Amino acid sequence: SVELVESGGGSVQTGGSLRLSCQASGDTHLIKWMAWFRHVPGKEREGVAMARSGHTYTHYAGHAEGRFTISQDKAKNQLYLQMTNLQPSDTAMYYCAARTEQYLPFPLSYTQYANWGQGTQVTVSS
């Protein structure tokens, strides 16, 4: 099994920055893809960015493109999300997710990921 623990959330003002971290443990050698999602109560879980584990391939949702950067340290089994120019609309619970299957037809669909962390809250005030 794969365990994921997020950290780094907090409260910032509009235009601020935060760096989220996700520590993976357990059967990390099985991980093929990792991603960040966010969720606001009453809305569907939304993809933010994803990366192929151990590779440079990344993909971003439109709302994250140009503001957020996903990166990883494979040696430390860590995934990061650097967020800049944060807006109140970015307020959400942010989750780290992992997929162990190679084939990934919908990279930013939450249905594609079976392993999830507990989430870290990001609040952006105006």
Summarised one tens digit per residue, pLDDT across range 39-94 is 999 999 999 999 999 999 999 999 999 999 999 999 999 999 999 999 999 999 99
Q: In the prediction, which pLDDT does 100 show?
A: 97
Residues recorded for the chain? 126
Burial 51-70 (b: 16+ CB within 10 A, else e): bbbeeeeebbbeebeeebeb
Joined together, the tokens standing for residue 48 give: 């933010």
Residue-wise pLDDT for 9-26, tens only, equals 999 999 999 999 999 999
Q: How far is CA 51 from CA 14, 41, 42, 70, 126, in A?
A: 27, 26, 27, 7, 30
Q: In the prediction, which pLDDT does 61 show?
A: 97
Q: In the prediction, which pLDDT does 43 show?
A: 96
Q: In the prediction, which pLDDT does 2 show?
A: 98
Banded model confidence at residue 99, pLDDT cuts 50, 70, 90: very high
Q: In the prediction, which pLDDT does 76 show?
A: 97
Q: How far is CA 20 from CA 30, 50, 60, 90, in A?
A: 22, 14, 16, 13
